[in-house]
Every structure is written in structure tokens, then in C-alpha cells.
Amino acid sequence: MKNDAITVSEFNAVLNQTLSFAYPEVVVEGEVSGFKVSQGKWVFFDLKDSDSVVGCFITTYQLKTELEDGMLIRVKAAPQLTKWGKFSLTVREVELAGEGSVKRAFDLLKAKFEKEGLFAPERKRALPEFPQKVMLITSAQAAAFNDFVTIINDRWSGVDIDHIQVQVQGVLAPAQIVEAIIYANSVADEYDAMVIIRGGGSAEDLQAFNTEEVVRAVFASDIPSIVAIGHEDDVSLAELVADVRAATPTDAARRLVPNRSEIQTRVASLTNSMLSSLENTVSISRTQLEGFYHSIEIRLNNLRYNLAEAFTRSCCAIEILVHSSVSQLESSKKLLESLDPRAILSRGYSITRINGKVIKSPSQYSSGDTIVIQLQQGKISLKPQGEGDSNDKRQTIISF
């Protein structure tokens, strides 16, 4: 017996080798119990049913869903005897079993993301009104794809849609969706929006869009996202984290592109406004021009009036001046006439001169002087006796 003995380690190794050969992978369904995470890396829990319990181990990296005690799950695992002699299942994948578990995992993950602020409204980005190039992540085999494309074509013209074919349910779906999102974002500048859609299904069918990896990939996307998963009543975490949540794939199409007829109406309205405004501008310009002409006409009339008035005033002034000059002339004339010595002669006065000089006093006379008396009709020369010509009718020579 002594020679047949093996060490404990050898025993465990043989046992694990046997287990590995007999049960390389088992799928076990049970209720989670004693769930705990050690050092943030190692996850331990038990799976149990009404009669039995088996321990399970998985890393946090491998665990893609939220777990807690009481949840019904299926694990894909390899049985193993640890070096401490404890039998456990080394879990590779966890799948939620039953609506209750799915709902509970959803609630737990949702609460976690809410706490982190992944659904915060302030981080939501608006989709461009007129997307030109869009990334579509879905399965072309699903009805959602055709519904989406039909609505896009009904509503709009001129959008390029690049499609990445992915599984939208099953264990491979999350990784494929995440890879597609990462690829789209590697050429993010090319795309105006990223669309992720899937049609209706059971809660388990839609589970890929409630996984942490998909939600975080949508959250990290540089391309504004619009996500529509399932029917209108279905709410997925991927929708909640998206920039825009659409109720259904057809709703996503409606939200993504504008309605052609609405844009046509808008363009027609703008065109009418332009035309109406231009007509108004022309009308204003015409009114301004007419006002300008009217103003010029008023100015011209004023000038004409002022000119006429100036002319009238000038004529009047000249007339007054002439009249005044004439009157003045008449006065001067009368004055001159009144001063004319001849006028006095007509009234019978005479002027007496000696040697041409008017004399006013007898003392001016000297013996022998000839006195000349100027009358109106002629002269009388008074000379000393013996002189003079008595035949001169204009002159009477009186000798004295």
C-alpha cells in the first residue's frame, strides 16, 4: 500500500484531469446564493436548488451581468477540485435564466449607471438635422432593418448609410455590437450619427442591449447615437445611454431624417417670404423715389416763386427809384427855375450892371460908366449924353 500512495497534489491533479476529460464543460442552472466579490477581482457564489449546492468561481472581468442572491442563472463552467480540497465550478459564462432574473439584473445595472451619471440628460447630444452619412449597426436579417430602410426612403433623399452586420441576440451579440461601435468610432469624422436597432423579442432576446459592455461602448461613442431596441414598451439600457432614444426602429428612422414634404413646405415658405420682402423693398424704394421727386418739385416751385418775388421786388424797387429820381429831378428843376434870375425879370424886376457887374448901390456908379439895365425882353444901356443908337429896338440909350 505504501508504494501505491500518491501525494495529495497528485490526487487533485488526477481528479481534475479526469473531471476535465469527463466534463470539459457543463451547463448548470440554479439560484445564486452567497454572492461575494473579493479584492474587486474574484467572484464567489453558490448555485443551489431545493436539495443541493455547488460553489462557483469567476473573475469580475468574465462576469458580464449583474448578479445577486436569489437570481436564477445558467452557468457554462468546468468542474474543478481546488488545492484546498473544495469542489467548485470555474465559470466561463453566465446567462440569466427567467424573466425575474433578467429584470433584476437590469435594475441593478441601471441603478449602477444612473449613479455614475451615464444617463444624465445634460450629456445628451442632438443629432444633426440633415445627416449625410450614418452608421447602422444591426442585423440585416431582422425585420427592423427593412422597416428602418423603408421609412428612411419614404421620408428623405440623399443619405449614405453604412451598415455593419452583427448578431442582435445570443452570447456573441454584445461583443460584436461593441466591436462595431469601436470600428465606427475609429472613423468617427465620417459619420453624422450612429444608429443601433433591433426589433421586438423576449427579455432574454434583448439582453445584449442591457449588457455593461454594450452600454459603456454606446456611452463612449464620439458619434451621436440613436438606439431603438424592441417594441415601444421595451426599455433597454443601451437606449437610455444613447443620445437619442427611439421607441422602435421605424421611430429611429423618423427621428434620424427630416420629412421631405416638411422641408419642401419650409423652402416654399422661405421663397414666398423672400418674394414678398423684395416686393415690399421695391415698393418702399418706389415710394422713396416718388417722395424724392416730389421734394425736388417742391424745391423747384419754391425757387420759381422766390425768383418771381425777387424779380417783382427788384422791378418795384427800380420803379420807386426811377420815380423818386424823377420827382427829385422835378423838384430840382423847379428849384432851379425858381432861382433863375430871368424868372424875376418876368415879374417886372430888372438887373442893373455896370461893366457886366451887378450893382446894388449908387455908390458903385462912377461918372462916365455905362449902366446896362437887364429887362425880361431886353436891355437898356444908359450912357453919358451923346452916345448910343436910338434905332436899336432892343436897347434904349438914354443920355443923362
Partner 1 sequence: MTNDKQSSVFKYSEALKELEAITAYLESSDVDLDEAIKKFDRGSELATQIELHLKNAENKIKTIRSKN
Does residue 255 bind partner 1 (CB under 8 A)?
no
Select 179 or 212, whichever has its Cβ closest to partner 1: 179
Using the structure block, give the residue that is written with the C-alpha cell 443551489.
Answer: 48
Interface residue with partner 1, options 275, 296, 320, 343 (CB under 8 A): 275
Give the interface segment with partner 1, choosing from 225-233, 270-278, 352-360, 365-373 (CB under 8 A): 270-278
Does residue 278 bind partner 1 (CB under 8 A)?
yes
Angle of CA points 59, 61, 63, to nearest 5° = 70
x/- contact string, 32-61, with partner 1 (CB under 8 A)? ------------------------------
Does residue 290 bind partner 1 (CB under 8 A)?
no
Interface residue with partner 1, options 162, 204, 212, 213 (CB under 8 A): 162
Interface residue with partner 1, options 149, 235, 351, 354 (CB under 8 A): 149
Size of the site for partner 1 (CB under 8 A): 46
173 vs 166: CA distance, rounded Å = 7
CB of 181 to partner 1, least distance (A): 12
Q: Where are the beta strands (DSSP E) in the chain?
A: 26-38, 42-48, 53-59, 72-81, 87-96, 133-138, 160-165, 193-198, 225-229, 244-245, 351-354, 357-358, 371-374, 379-383, 398-399
- 3-state secondary structure (DSSP) of residue 230: coil
Interface residue with partner 1, options 133, 294, 299, 304 (CB under 8 A): 133
CB of 257 to partner 1, least distance (A): 9
Does residue 156 bind partner 1 (CB under 8 A)?
yes
Task: Give all strands of the β-sheet with 351-354 in edge-to-edge order.
Answer: 357-358, 351-354, 371-374, 379-383, 398-399
CB of 272 to partner 1, least distance (A): 9
Does residue 287 bind partner 1 (CB under 8 A)?
no
CB of 18 to partner 1, least distance (A): 37
Containing 281, the helix (H) or strand (E) segment is helix 260-339
**CA distance from start to end of the chain:** 224
Residue among 156, 158, 151 at smallest CA distance from 262 = 156
Fill in the DSSP letter of residue 26: E
348-353, long-range: CB within 8 Å, 24+ apart, which pairs?
A: 348/376, 350/374, 350/375
- DSSP-derived pairing of the beta strands 398-399 and 371-374: unpaired
Does residue 161 bind partner 1 (CB under 8 A)?
yes
Using the structure block, give the residue that is written with the C-alpha cell 425768383.
Answer: 307
CB of 270 to partner 1, least distance (A): 5
Interface residue with partner 1, options 26, 182, 220, 274 (CB under 8 A): 274
CB of 316 to partner 1, least distance (A): 49
194 vs 222: CA distance, rounded Å = 9
Fill in the DSSP letter of residue 395: B
Give the interface segment with partner 1, choosing from 6-14, 55-63, 164-172, 381-389 (CB under 8 A): 164-172
Select 130 or 305, whichever has its Cβ closest to partner 1: 130
CB of 50 to partner 1, least distance (A): 41
Residue 378 is placed in which grid cell?
A: 431886353
With 0-12 / 13-18 / 19 or more C-beta atoms within 10 angstroms meaning exposed / middle / buried, residue 198 is buried
* Contact status, residue 130 vs residue 158, Cβ threshold 8 Å: no
Contact set for partner 1, span 211-240 (CB under 8 A): none
Does residue 150 bind partner 1 (CB under 8 A)?
no
Select 118 or 263, whichever has its Cβ closest to partner 1: 263
Which positions touch partner 1 (CB under 8 A)? 128-130, 132-133, 136, 139-140, 149, 152-153, 156-167, 172, 176, 179-180, 183, 189-190, 260, 263-264, 266-268, 270-271, 273-275, 277-278, 281-282, 285
